[in-house]
Structure 1
Amino acid sequence: MRLWLTLLPVAIAATGIAWWLTAPATVDASQIVALDGDATQGEAVFHASGCASCHHAENAENDTVLSGGQGFASGFGTFYAPNISPHPEAGIGDWSVADFAGAVRLGVSPDGAHLYPAFPYAAYGRMTDQDLVDLWAFMQTLPPDETVNRPHEVGFPFNIRAGLGVWKVLYADRGWVLDVPPELERGRYLVEALGHCGECHTPRNALGALDRSAWMQGAPNPSGSGRIPALTPNSLTWSVEDIAYYLETGFTPDYDSVGGHMAEVVENFSKLPAEDRQAVAAYIKALPAP
């Protein structure tokens, strides 16, 4: 009995800590709902964020139909991009802008479930309020699609979503990776937030979190074939103009052309203003050597 009385407070405390660590966060939507979204500006955010690259159907000719279904292999299983078209049942058409903000910034679905970080909400968490509502406004203009979501193929224990709450506490750092002067802030925003470039170009630890100490130093290809190249100055010797031109046309200074998933990144960035591509290039050239 005495042992039980000793262990009971410990058990209660442990339960409370576990609940706190695994409970989904909620977004303060008061400022967001007060803003008016601009769909024209939201289209640029849409392209910079690469929404269509993951959420259009595999081999689809129209990348504005965000029906989902593409599979993304990882060491934890295969994740399938969901339908994020404005369809009210199959997609996110019945969401509010607050629901959207919770998913994009915190990785929490409207019903309170943790989303897997295959969706780069740790990067999108740095998105400004105005860009978020502009993006939402643009997405309302896209065609609805009734394709049903395909469930992820993730085994135990990674199929227990409550554990993602602990992962977020440990690794969902929404602070900026690099301190930069004012003239590089736009490039940092495009690379570290909207473009989420570090998701591919930075190595990960055993739990799938980005190793920020090796920022942009290259990483194994999650598909298991080849390696994503480093963008640090010891590996990438292109000039600012070379990088900006590559992001516009897909052509390298050696007259090679872009391939793989990067082709879609170039397709997205080619639709942005030239000054944005220049800003990204300037940020990349300012990356510290390993």
Structure 2
Amino acid sequence: MGTRLRKLASVVLFVGVIVGGGAWFVTKPEPWPASHWQGLGEADLANGEHIFWAGGCVSCHAAPKSEGDAKLVLSGGLPLTSPFGTFHVPNISPDEKAGIGGWTLAEFGDAMTRGVGKSGEHLYPSFPYGSYARLTQKDINDLYGFIRTLPKSANVAPPHDLPFPFNIRLSLGGWKLLFFTDKPRVTVDTTDPKIARGQYLVEGPGHCGECHTPRNALGGFEADRWLAGAPNPEGEGIVPNITPGSTSIGSWSESDIANYLETGFTPDFDSVGGSMVEVQQNLAKLPASDREAIAAYLKAVPSL
């Protein structure tokens, strides 16, 4: 009997190793091949700054409550509370030790578009790589070049404060398998170049869905409710529905939306509030054509 139990235990262990190995294989971090980031040439810093503001980098990575030029010091440290624990935003200044000054373009690009860190680890989706995955190689190269021109900071952000099992990074491979995609979020008429540009900005660098789309219990988007509004990740109130069927901006024209993104004023002369204040200030730095493209896309998405 003892021999049979030992054989059974050996079989179970063997099967466990095979299953575990297979699970690891399909959920392991997957950076791009090195060739993906080669031959991109010198960065276009003007476009890099454009993507920087479209992506709202300062809203999370600048020191809390910083103003003016201090916002360009991407020292990190902001705590982001969530149902899964508290994430602390990292330093992404060009500092070689505390920031990303020692990172290569490939390491930066893999973090941005694949959710893979410098050491080959899965990154938590509190960093919205699920949206940034749509950025083109050129935009990544230009953004990387622009960030390297910004001031350095030696600030070291605290580690994430996450309870078990959310502190197990290997589990993020399963999360990515379920929810990570670089495909369009919704179907819109991309034969219209304005709408196509708007889709790229909203679903990609603008990462609007990260706050405006509800999530399931595992933190993945409810795909059929894109931009339909969601609980405020900061814990108070609701982030509004911004589809054409909403009671918030559903009645606004494209020009109303574009003007709001530029000035912060609604058609009723109310003003932007809450966390949207910084978003609006960032988008105000974009060319008018991009704000118009965002507005066109928001009027074209499915009405919810």
Give the TM-score normalised by structure 2. 0.92
> 2:61 and 2:231 mapped to 1: Cα distance?
23
> 1:288 and 1:113 mapped to 2: Cα distance?
36
> 2:37 and 2:19 mapped to 1: Cα distance?
35
TM-fit CA distance, 1:29: 3.1
Counting only pairs closer than 5 Å after superposition, residues 2-81 of structure 1 correspond to structure 2 as 2-4=7-9, 6-36=11-41, 37-61=43-67, 62-81=70-89
- Please name the residue that 1:246 is paired with: 260
User: Structure 2: which amino acid aligns with 1:223?
Assistant: E
Query: For the Cα contact (< 8 Å) 2:186–2:226, is it kept in 1?
Result: no
Q: Deviations over 1:148-194 (max 9, x none)?
A: 12111111110111100110111112110122222111000000011
- Relative to structure 1, the CA distance from residue 226 to residue 20 in structure 2 (aligned partners, 3 Å threshold; closer, same or farther) is same
Please state if 1:278 is matched with 2:266. Answer: no
Which of residues 87, 101, 111 in structure 1 aligns to 2:109? 101
Aligned Cα RMSD in Å?
Answer: 1.2
Alignment gaps of 5+ in structure 2: none
Which of residues 194, 202, 223 in structure 1 aligns to 2:234? 223
2:219 is paired with a residue of what secondary structure? Answer: coil
Q: Deviations over 1:207-244 (max 9, x none)?
A: 11111111000000012200000011221211100000
> 2:284 and 2:13 mapped to 1: Cα distance?
61
- Relative to structure 1, the CA distance from residue 255 to residue 19 in structure 2 (aligned partners, 3 Å threshold; closer, same or farther) is same
> 1:277 and 1:269 mapped to 2: Cα distance?
7
TM-fit CA distance, 1:12: 2.9
Which of residues 244, 269, 272 in structure 2 aligns to 1:255? 269
Which of residues 125, 134, 144 in structure 2 aligns to 1:126? 134
Higher Rg of the two aligned structures:
2
Counting only pairs closer than 5 Å after superposition, residues 154-233 of structure 1 correspond to structure 2 as 154-181=162-189, 182-183=191-192, 184-233=195-244
> 1:11 and 1:216 mapped to 2: Cα distance?
41
Please state if 1:146 is matched with 2:154. Answer: yes
> 1:248 and 1:45 mapped to 2: Cα distance?
16
> 2:251 and 2:13 mapped to 1: Cα distance?
61
User: Structure 1: which amino acid aligns with 2:284?
Assistant: S
1:136 is paired with a residue of what secondary structure? Answer: helix
TM-fit CA distance, 1:13: 2.0
User: Structure 2: which amino acid aligns with 1:196?
Assistant: H
User: Structure 2: which amino acid aligns with 1:232?
Assistant: T
2:204 is paired with a residue of what secondary structure? Answer: helix
Which of residues 124, 127, 137 in structure 1 aligns to 2:145? 137
Which of residues 97, 120, 133 in structure 2 aligns to 1:89? 97
User: Structure 2: which amino acid aligns with 1:57?
Assistant: A
The share of aligned pairs that are identical, in percent, is 51
Greater alpha carbon shift after TM alignment, 106-115 vs 137-146: 106-115
1:63 is paired with a residue of what secondary structure? Answer: helix
Query: For the Cα contact (< 8 Å) 2:188–2:301, is it kept in 1?
Result: no
TM-fit CA distance, 1:7: 2.9
What is the aligned residue count? 290
Give the TM-score normalised by structure 1. 0.97
